[in-house]
Amino acid sequence: CFRQVKVSPITDPAVLEPLSHDKHWEVRRAAAAQITDPAVLERLSHDKRWEVRRAAAERITDPAVLERLMHDEDRRVRRAAAERFIDGWVGDRRNLDPAILERLTHDEDRRVRRAAVQRITDLAVLERLMHDEDRRVRRAAVRRIWRSLF
């Protein structure tokens, strides 16, 4: 007979920080998903593996680091950074820097544009995105506008 043991996530920085230096990217990614130390997350945002950079982007709160990651070579990192940036924006989303918003909605990857659409509240931007080349972005823009009306 086996007993189930409930294991809580490791949150102790003394344990997580050394794991962020591990030679295996999977360990670094797992550490990045739990770490809250801004300095360690910033370092992991430069990791050679996109999986680690994406995990770090999902936890980072520094807007400057997220802005840099929105220019990452990998679309998955850009998308995670865009989502985190917009979701974590302090204050009214209508005050989001128009240059950043413009960059996100013109990203070459449709998934980044769609992620941005799902978080945008500016109706003028959403109306423009109703004419995006990708049907999924157009559909997301229409749905976002529809939700804002009701």
How does pLDDT run across 29-67, given as a tens digit for each residue? Answer: 999 999 989 999 999 999 999 999 999 999 998 989 999
pLDDT category of residue 26 using cuts at 50, 70 and 90? very high
Confidence of residue 7 (pLDDT cuts 50, 70, 90): very low
- Would the pTM of this model clear 0.95, i.e. be above it? no
- Residue 3 has a pLDDT of 67
Residue-level pLDDT at 101? 80
d(CA 56, CA 38): 10
Is 56 exposed, middle or buried (CB count within 10 Å of its CB: 0-12, 13-18, 19+)?
buried
Tens digit of each residue's pLDDT (9 = 90 or more) over 87-145 = 776 445 556 677 788 888 899 999 889 888 877 878 888 999 999 999 999 999 999 99
